Amino acid sequence: MKEIKGIVMPILTPFKEDGELDEAMGCEIADFLIGAGVHALFLLGSFGQGPVMRVDQRKRFAEVIIKQVRGRVPIVVHVGTADSYSTVELGLHAKSLGCEAIAVVGPYYYSDHTEYEITEHYKEVGRQVGMPMMIYNNPPYSGYDITPAMMLRLKERVPQIFGTKISADSLEIALNYLQQLPKEFAIYGLASALLPGALYGIRGTIVPPMIAYPELGVALWRALEAKNLEEALLQQMKINELQKTLRTLGRVYGRGVQCEAVRLRGFAVKKFPRWTTKPLSSEDKTVLAHALRQAGLSVFA
């Protein structure tokens, strides 16, 4: 497996007004992200809308983006579903396309799953798909937390697991995983604390809102690799200010604010997410555009 580190960007899945895929726009966004210097792409997770897409749509989007990328960066395809049969089906399909790894959120909806059941789910996927697997630990969506101790037990029982994407944006939580998992186990997370996190050993970040400002994440990672902490701090503060604006607006507009941010960067996304959201007011569009400009980004408003 190619090393997956740095800015691992969840790609927004754009839709047409009828909820079908906008493949051309997906390719355009993928090229933009690669041009911005991101180190890998993460397809069809929560931000990528995988759980609300039909199986045929998930397969098709993976096919389109992997073909468009042509190996320029590693690709991780999220294949998690509520059952192991569908997850295996999607995992085998992703493997056939030549992606570097799959990501799997724990079986969701039935949040009363026991640890035994969750473990068996991952074991079945690992056995049948047989390729590097990242655990996507997202307690608010799966309904349960995969703690560091449980993660270690999973790693011991499922050798295909190489790392985890943690959804909690907390340095303390990330440090707990770093302290309890083997050094080679990759931890991804922490866009708002990537500067200290990377110094402790965080492998990179997989954070959706950064799709509207990938240049900042790439600049931050490059500064970290160059040990230029002053520049890294500057980029980190820009990212945190933008995240604050997106969170504030997101409490009113949901994921629609992320769609509007991408539109302001010049991409005519027709529909995202794959459900109806409240349109941003003209005043709040101006707030969002101002925040992007303040970070030094080009805006098309």
Provide the whole-model pTM: 0.96
Report CA-CA distances (Å) from 176 to 47, 135, 140, 252: 25, 16, 19, 33
pLDDT score of 170 = 80
State phi, psi for 135 to the nearest 5 degrees. -85, 130
Helix, strand, or coil here: 15?
strand
The whole-angstrom separation of Cα 17 and Cα 195 is 39
Task: Using alpha carbons, list the distances in angstroms from residue 172 to 189, 232, 233, 236, 271.
Answer: 12, 20, 19, 18, 36
Alpha-carbon distance 46 to 42, whole Å? 10
Question: For residue 69, what pLDDT is reported?
Answer: 98
Q: pLDDT digit string (tens) for 106-123?
A: 999 999 999 999 999 999
Across the strands, what pairs with 166?
137
Q: Indicate the helix (H) or strand (E) that contains 20.
A: none
Instruction: Please write the tens of the pLDDT for every residue from 40-72.
Output: 999 999 999 999 999 999 999 999 999 999 999
How many whole angstroms separate alpha carbon 176 and alpha carbon 181?
9
Q: Where are the alpha helices (DSSP H) in the chain?
A: 23-35, 55-69, 84-97, 115-129, 139-142, 148-157, 171-180, 194-200, 214-225, 229-253, 256-264, 282-294
| Other CB atoms within 10 Å distance of the CB of residue 193 | 20
The CATH architecture one would assign to domain 6-294 is: Alpha-Beta Barrel (3.20)
Contacts of 299 (CB under 8 A, 6+ apart): 264, 265, 289, 292, 293
Please answer whether residues 155 and 185 qualify as being in contact, where contact means their C-beta atoms are separated by less than 8 angstroms.
yes
What type of residue is 2? Answer: K
Task: Please tell me whether the peptide bond between 148 and the residue prior to it is cis, using omega within 30 degrees of 0.
Answer: no
Structure-block tokens of residue 229 = 């902490």
Strand partners, 41: 9, 75
pLDDT along the chain (301 residues), means of 10: 93 97 98 98 97 98 98 98 98 98 97 97 98 96 95 97 88 92 93 92 91 97 97 97 96 97 98 98 98 96 73
